[in-house]
């Protein structure tokens, strides 16, 4: 594989606008701690789809597809040396922990979609330098020609107002049902979500660009899956692997940003003190420790940071960092089997929480609360958790939001928290979200 520096002076979101007209276009933010970068591409040269009803070992097939991908020069100034772009739907977890009725339904999209790209375009944020990674060094000239033209722009409104698909009364009933399961000792926490929808008149790349500029987060992404585009604006790391070191950063606990510095600091301090939020957080950190413990060497799983405040443009979150050293024989399939889907978007115990989610959520989640990111053939990977993620199909955007339900949860506050988590999308669509734990107009 050739490594071709490009004399290109354009923001990655502008590059995406140019590439988005091509099939399979994508953009991935990779917030590596030492060298953050962005990967872009289009027109994949190979792909693997895991459809509903997939037979055999889907995770083994995914591992083979990644392992057979050519490795780019390992001396690259990037932590990932070429590989595969992947999107894993939440319902893939039902192949890992099969439902009792044996039925797996992920909606109209595949349970997983992985693609190889040649060329790949990487942007080093620290050096403001683009590099083309390609099997043919002559590929640089056509790419420069393609990107020399002015980037498409979208100046009008993006879409209409966001509205819930589920009546608030139905959501309250679902919370009440979970509270009954909790009281019976059936489960300790369940992450309940609901879908919202809005008309979208702009192309999906314009929504990705608006979110990226207004609400920058560590795990921004645009993935063209064909008739559907995934636009992720996620703050959460699902899995990072570098060599044998593995890391996850679960988020549990939310407060809105304040109206000024003192109000903002007070809300962050309130989140740190809130016993309900901390209890939710501790449960999920313990779950993640247990998941990593299934594939890591004994005694290596540790909580490096516990329940620290991480602030984003619309919310404060509580975040922990859990790490471990993988056993020598652990491959990608083993790692996904032990950890997917993430604990922060399921509950504890995970399998029972997933059964309750399936009972109470009337629509498949699809890509939402799955994972997306980059995987290289050496085993290294960077996967964001697909929260704050919009699914765009045929002029409509669907966006889920929710939160963890525990024994002292209040249904009205849970409704308000879910609505708060839609604030970035509503702002991108042109609404002006009110401050605070607001309720949607329908209740």
Q: Which residues are catalytic?
A: 236, 252
Closest residue by Cα to residue 219 from 312, 295, 146, 296: 312
Three-state DSSP state, 426: helix
Closest residue by Cα to residue 336 from 72, 79, 109, 66: 66
Residues 6+ apart with CB under 8 A from 138: none
Contact 234, 381 (CB under 8 A): no
Closest residue by Cα to residue 272 from 321, 320, 217, 317: 317
Contact 324, 301 (CB under 8 A): yes
Contact 235, 218 (CB under 8 A): yes
E strands along 161-313, which residues?
A: 163-164, 189-199, 219-224, 228-234, 237-242, 245-248, 251-256, 302-311
- Phi/psi-derived region of residue 137, left when phi > 0, alpha when psi is between -120 and 50, beta in every other case: alpha
Contact 162, 127 (CB under 8 A): no
Alpha helices (H) along 2-111: 12-19, 58-67, 93-96
Q: What is the DSSP letter of 270?
A: H
Angle at CA of residue 317, ends 183 and 174, nearest 5°: 30
Tell me how far the alpha carbon of residue 122 is from its chain's centroid.
20
Give the whole-angstrom CA distance, residue 8 versus residue 15: 10
């Amino acid at each position: 594989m050739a490594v071709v520096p490009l004399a290109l002076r354009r923001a990655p979101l502008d590059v995406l606008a140019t590439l988005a007209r091509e099939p399979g276009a994508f953009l991935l933010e990779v917030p590596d701690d030492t060298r953050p970068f962005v990967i872009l591409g289009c027109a994949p040269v190979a792909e693997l789809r895991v459809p509903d009803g997939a037979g055999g070992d889907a995770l083994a097939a995914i591992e083979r597809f990644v392992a057979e991908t050519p490795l780019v020069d390992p001396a690259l100034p990037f932590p990932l040396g070429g590989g595969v772009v992947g999107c894993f739907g939440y319902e893939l977890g039902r192949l890992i922990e099969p439902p009792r009725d044996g039925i797996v339904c992920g909606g109209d999209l595949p349970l997983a979609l992985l693609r190889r790209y040649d060329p790949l375009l990487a942007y080093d944020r620290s050096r403001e330098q683009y590099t083309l990674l390609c099997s043919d060094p002559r590929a640089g000239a056509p790419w420069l020609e393609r990107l020399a033209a002015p980037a498409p722009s979208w100046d009008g409104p993006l879409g209409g107002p966001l509205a819930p698909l589920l009546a608030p009364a139905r959501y309250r009933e679902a919370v009440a049902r979970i509270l009954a399961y909790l009281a019976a000792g059936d489960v300790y926490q369940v992450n309940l979500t609901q879908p919202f929808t809005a008309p979208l008149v702009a192309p999906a790349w314009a929504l990705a660009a608006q979110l990226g500029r207004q609400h920058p987060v560590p795990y921004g992404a645009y993935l063209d899956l064909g008739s559907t585009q995934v636009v992720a604006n996620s703050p959460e790391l699902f899995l990072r692997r570098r060599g044998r070191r593995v890391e996850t950063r679960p988020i549990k606990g939310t407060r809105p940003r304040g109206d000024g510095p003192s109000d903002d600091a007070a809300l962050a301090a309130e989140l740190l003190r809130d016993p309900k939020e901390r209890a939710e957080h501790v449960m999920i950190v313990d779950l993640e420790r247990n998941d990593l413990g299934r594939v890591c060497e004994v005694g290596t799983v540790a909580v490096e940071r516990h329940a620290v405040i991480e602030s984003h443009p619309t919310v404060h979150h509580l975040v922990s960092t859990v790490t471990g050293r993988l056993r020598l024989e652990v491959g990608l399939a083993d790692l996904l089997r032990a950890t997917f889907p993430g604990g922060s978007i399921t509950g504890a115990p995970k399998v029972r929480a997933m059964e309750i989610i399936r009972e109470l959520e009337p629509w498949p989640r699809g890509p939402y609360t799955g994972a997306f990111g980059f995987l290289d053939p050496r085993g290294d990977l960077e996967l964001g958790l697909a929260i704050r993620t919009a699914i765009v199909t045929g002029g409509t955007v669907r966006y889920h939001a929710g939160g963890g339900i525990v024994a002292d949860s209040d249904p009205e506050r849970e409704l308000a928290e879910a609505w708060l988590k839609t604030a970035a999308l509503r702002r991108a669509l042109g609404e002006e979200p009110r401050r605070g734990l607001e309720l949607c107009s329908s209740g």
